[in-house]
Amino acid sequence: MNTYKNVRKISHETRHNMVGDGFRVYQYIPGSLNLTDDASPFLMLDYNAPFRFPPSANRKGVGEHPHKGFETVTIAFDGYIEHRDSSGGGGVIGPGDVQWMTAGNGILHDEFQTDEMSRNGGLQHMIQLWVNLPAKDKSTPAAYQNLTDAMISRYKLDELGSVVRVIAGSFAGVKGPAKTFTPVNMYDMILNAGASTGFDIPLSHNSMLLVTKGKIRINEKTDASFRDFVLFDHNAENIHIEATEDARVFFISGEPIHEPVARYGPFVMNTREELIQAFEDFHSGKFGSIAAS
């Protein structure tokens, strides 16, 4: 008999908000769960559930803004977003692509729908995560990983198209391409009705999933459906997922960073004094310039 990680809590956000004018999101971390310790190293999870933007004469998105002390990860299922930053990173991500930006010691960036998407309108479906950095890495140089769909590793579950896209960490020996500062697993699981998979996650990891399409059964007894966010306990290592209809699941786990978190707006440090310094660095121009890049 299998011993599974217990499902501790299921959350279903009903309120959405706009980030800039280009992202219509439900927030799960911190959101209603407010899980600083239980979600570490993840600081934020915004879910842009499928939403069709109308045509617009102006590009929709978020203008130039700073970050410091953590990483932003954007996963695109539908739609096209263009990114630019002061480290010289940039590019367009579309369906299946992932943008992994390390703010580190400080960065400026912006993110907008592409000209074509804004002009024609279209379906947008994305996730953005904030992943904390440990104190020793908060001053690492800013960097950018552009992970195209072709670069994402895959573990095939059946011959009908059920697959686990391994973005970070490993799944059944298949390693994801993302470079991380602390141990993180990140999977995009595409499951046909009836498909199932079991996998192990270290006891120490904080583990959670978001259903981005359809319905699933977790550990042979707990049902979850579209926009349900599931938090797991630390009692065991194994998780089992079965699709009770065509489904898609975004799963993340990570080794918690057992350090103080001092957070204000776009900066995440360890102390109030470091936050003050971050603001001073930003206002003095130490984060660079997008135009110069």
Buried b (16+ CB within 10 A) or exposed e, 94-116: eebbbbbbbbbbbbbbbbbbbee
Q: For residue 24, give Cα distances in angstroms to 36, 42, 51, 185.
A: 23, 20, 8, 26
pLDDT tens track, the chain, 293 positions: 579 999 999 999 999 999 999 999 999 998 756 556 889 999 999 999 999 999 999 999 999 999 999 999 999 999 999 999 999 988 999 999 999 999 999 999 999 999 999 999 999 999 999 999 999 999 999 999 999 999 999 999 999 999 999 999 999 999 999 999 999 999 999 999 999 999 999 999 999 999 999 999 999 999 999 999 999 999 999 999 999 999 999 999 999 999 999 999 999 999 999 999 999 999 999 999 986 44
Tokens of 65: 């803004």
Q: Are 247 and 46 in contact (CB under 8 A)?
A: no
Tokens of 59: 């590009």
Alpha-helical regions (H) of the chain: 36-39, 115-120, 272-283
Dihedral class, residue 22 (left if φ above 0, else alpha if ψ from -120 to 50, else beta): alpha
Q: What's this model's pTM, rounded to 2 decimal places?
A: 0.96
Q: Are 211 and 228 in contact (CB under 8 A)?
A: yes
Considering only CA atoms, which of 166, 147, 44, 42 is closest in space to residue 89? Answer: 147
Phi–psi pair at 283, nearest 5 degrees: -70, -20
The answer regarding whether domain 7-283 maps to CATH 3.40.50.300 reads: no
Domain definitions of the chain by residue range: 7-283
Encode pLDDT of 147-203 as tens digits: 999 999 999 999 999 999 999 999 999 999 999 999 999 999 999 999 999 999 999
SS3 category, 277: helix
